[in-house]
Amino acid sequence: MIWPRLSFSSASVQDLFAVDNVLPARARANGASWVMNRKTINTTRQMAASNYGSSFWANLAQDTPIQLLDHAQYEASSVLSTTTTGTVLAVLGDFSRYLLIDRIGTQIEFVQNVVDTNGVPTGTRGWVGYKRVGAAVDNVDSFRFC
């Protein structure tokens, strides 16, 4: 199934409502929230909210409104703000379903001969340490993106 995508070139409030409409009730009940880039946030602020009153933005007097369509809204600079095919501009979902996985322990290895970028020995020894860290969603149905 293809989920609705926001069309920020036309700044359509209906697109935001469409994404909210397809979010499952369980995700809404657990406290779903929006995550967007600052540019996307400001674009949504300029949408015709006067037709929707307080149901659109909870409080326009604050720097970053607390809620958008009854969902908490957060800024993330790593989310893209340019509209191209396949770009995710905003995520709406239950972020308690997003898990960070941290493997306990760090692997450390002794390096007998350190080499440079050309593979030539530098005449030094060293230590290399690495750790496994990841993230995953345990229920993909708890998220919608646009």
Tens of pLDDT, residues 78-114: 777 776 666 777 889 999 998 998 888 888 999 999 9
The total number of structural domains in the chain stands at 1
Query: CA-CA distances (angstroms) from residue 81 to 54, 60, 137?
Result: 25, 21, 23
Q: Which residues partner with 110 through β-bridges?
A: 127
Residue 47: inside a domain: yes
Residue 1: inside a domain: no
Query: In 3-state terms, what secondary structure has residue 137?
Result: strand
SS3 content of the chain, % helix, strand, coil (to 5): 25, 30, 50
Residue 70: inside a domain: yes
Residue 30: inside a domain: yes
Give the domain extent around 38: 13-98+139-145
Residue 58: inside a domain: yes
pTM for this structure?
A: 0.67
Query: In 3-state terms, what secondary structure has residue 142?
Result: helix
Quote the CA–CA distance of 36 and 22 in Å, as a whole number.
18
Quote the CA–CA distance of 128 and 145 in Å, as a whole number.
39
Residue 83: inside a domain: yes
Residue 104: inside a domain: no
Residue 130: inside a domain: no
pLDDT by 10s per residue, the chain, length 146: 444 455 555 446 777 788 888 888 988 888 899 988 888 887 777 775 565 555 566 665 665 556 788 888 888 887 777 766 667 778 899 999 989 988 888 889 999 999 999 999 999 999 999 898 998 888 888 888 87
What do you get for the CA distance between the two ends of the chain, in Å?
13
